[in-house]
Amino acid sequence: MTTMDILIKAKAAAPTLAQTDTEQKNRALYAMAESLEAETEAILQANILDMEAAHDTISPVMMDRLALSAERIRAMADGIRQVAALPDPVGRIRRRVERPNGIIIEQVGVAMGVIAIIYESRPNVTSDAAALAIKAGSACVLRGGKEAFRSANAIVTAMQAGLEAADLPAELVQLVQDTTRVSAQELMTAVGFVDLLIPRGGAGLIRAVTENAKVPCIQTGTGICHVYVDKDADQSKALQIIENAKTSRPSVCNAEEVCLVHRDIAAEFLPKLKTRLVDDRIEDGKTPVELRLDPSAALLIDGTPAGPHDFDTEFLDHILAVAVVDSAEEAMGHIAMHSTGHSDAIVTENEETAERFTKVVDSAAVYVNCSTRFTDGGEFGLGCEMGISTQKLHARGPMGLEELTCYKYIIRGNGQVR
């Protein structure tokens, strides 16, 4: 089937789902989860073929992302069940006002229609994205990476069986068969067929979407996240936050990439930072962090001299760029220049400085005295998420079910005219 065939089917199926009640949607989600578990064998076989084909071309980290197991499939099914348990955003009355003329205006949550998602090699995104789209009342068209195609196909087939078991059309969840750039381009330009496109991937994909997309998009972004250690910081908190933000999961978008330190405390703090991120970690048998230092920091501790791109790179690795700044204002200026607007933090006990930082820093999530790693739908209490938006239109930060819907106004009267 061509991508356009798939979109036509999705568009035709979408209105049914948009008007399906919560109970039936949840029944479909539970059936999808059950079907996924029932098809474990078929999914694992498809995954083995993917793994064999990808073996020579992708890195061990990517291989690990690609690999499925019975346990991972169970976790995917549980993920779907968790979505079923979340409140339904469709039909929710967000605002209600009765006007002096007696008309009653309600702003009501409604489905987007067709949500298309472009993603890469993690097979679990297939079920996560489908579950969120279905609960949000939208048909979904999935376009995964070619390395995971067979796995994704088996997962989608299983989920379609679940939809049909709950008397909903299988076309509500479809996988694009073409994994070349052509299909991504088709999704970006399918005006009238895609109501929301969510690209999940690296900087190259995001750039392509910014350049080419003609359908409504939400970009889920790269994160060059900063932690600024103010002169009034509690330094032990700062060490704990930085170690967590940098090392708890370096490959994710909310990991810290840059540390800025106020000059007044740099001579005291930077040696402690090196001890914590390098020496202690070596001693504990953990991966040490490579510090890339600006000239001022390099005068105070050992490390790699920072290159020209180190303050503009999402390392996604055990690497931290470190710079010394003269003031909180300089830190905010640096962040304005280099941040991707994802998550940025200040560590300070000075409330006034913290207040200024939260006002001035123009990022989706601005932290005071805690780790940037909290930028996550689950951690924010949204239940789960479709990704982290780094744009300002429609949704910013973690996108839960609410952010995957829109609204309409329903106005009821008794013959009123203007």
Binding residues (CB under 8 A) for a copy of itself: these are 15, 18-19, 97, 99, 103, 105, 110, 112-113, 191, 195-196, 210-211, 214, 216, 218, 234, 236-237, 240-241, 243-245, 248, 336, 354, 358-360, 362-371, 373-375, 379-381, 391-394, 396-397, 406-418
CB of 199 to a copy of itself, least distance (A): 14
Q: Which is nearer to a copy of itself, 150 or 246 (CB)?
A: 246
Q: Which is nearer to a copy of itself, 55 or 99 (CB)?
A: 99
CB of 365 to a copy of itself, least distance (A): 5
Q: Which is nearer to a copy of itself, 112 or 328 (CB)?
A: 112
CB of 255 to a copy of itself, least distance (A): 11
Q: Which is nearer to a copy of itself, 304 or 358 (CB)?
A: 358
Q: Which is nearer to a copy of itself, 320 or 354 (CB)?
A: 354
354 alpha carbon, distance to own chain's centre = 26
CB of 350 to a copy of itself, least distance (A): 13
CA quadruple 253, 259, 260, 261: dihedral positive or negative? positive
Q: Which is nearer to a copy of itself, 296 or 358 (CB)?
A: 358
What is the SS3 string spanning 120-165?
Answer: CCCHHHHHHHHHHHHHCCCEEEEECCHHHHHHHHHHHHHHHHHHHH
Q: Write the CA distances from 82 to 20, 166, 286, integer angstroms.
A: 19, 18, 33
CB of 320 to a copy of itself, least distance (A): 16
Residue pair 174/9 in contact by the 8 Å Cβ criterion:
yes
- Single out the residue of 76, 92, 81, 77 nearest to residue 27, CA to CA: 81
Instruction: Give pairs for 191-194: CB < 8 Å, separation 24+.
Output: 191/215, 193/4, 193/7, 193/8, 193/10, 193/11, 193/114, 194/7, 194/114, 194/115, 194/116, 194/141
CB of 45 to a copy of itself, least distance (A): 36
Q: Which is nearer to a copy of itself, 252 or 299 (CB)?
A: 252
Q: Which is nearer to a copy of itself, 105 or 170 (CB)?
A: 105
Q: Which is nearer to a copy of itself, 50 or 344 (CB)?
A: 344
- Scanning the structure block, which residue is given the tokens 């002169």? 231
Buried b or exposed e, range 129-140, using 16+ CB within 10 angstroms: bbbbbbbbbbbb
Residue pair 138/114 in contact by the 8 Å Cβ criterion:
yes
CB of 12 to a copy of itself, least distance (A): 11
User: Which contiguous run of DSSP H or E holds residue 66?
Assistant: helix 60-66
Q: What is the DSSP letter of 277?
A: I
Quote the tokens at residue 130.
Answer: 């489908």
User: Which contiguous run of DSSP H or E holds residue 315?
Assistant: none
Amino acid, res. 205: L
CB of 165 to a copy of itself, least distance (A): 25
CB of 137 to a copy of itself, least distance (A): 11
CB of 388 to a copy of itself, least distance (A): 10
Task: Name 73's Cβ contacts closer than 8 Å, sequence gap at least 6.
Answer: 36, 37, 40, 43, 44
Q: Which is nearer to a copy of itself, 191 or 282 (CB)?
A: 191
- Single out the residue of 211, 203, 388 nearest to residue 313, CA to CA: 203
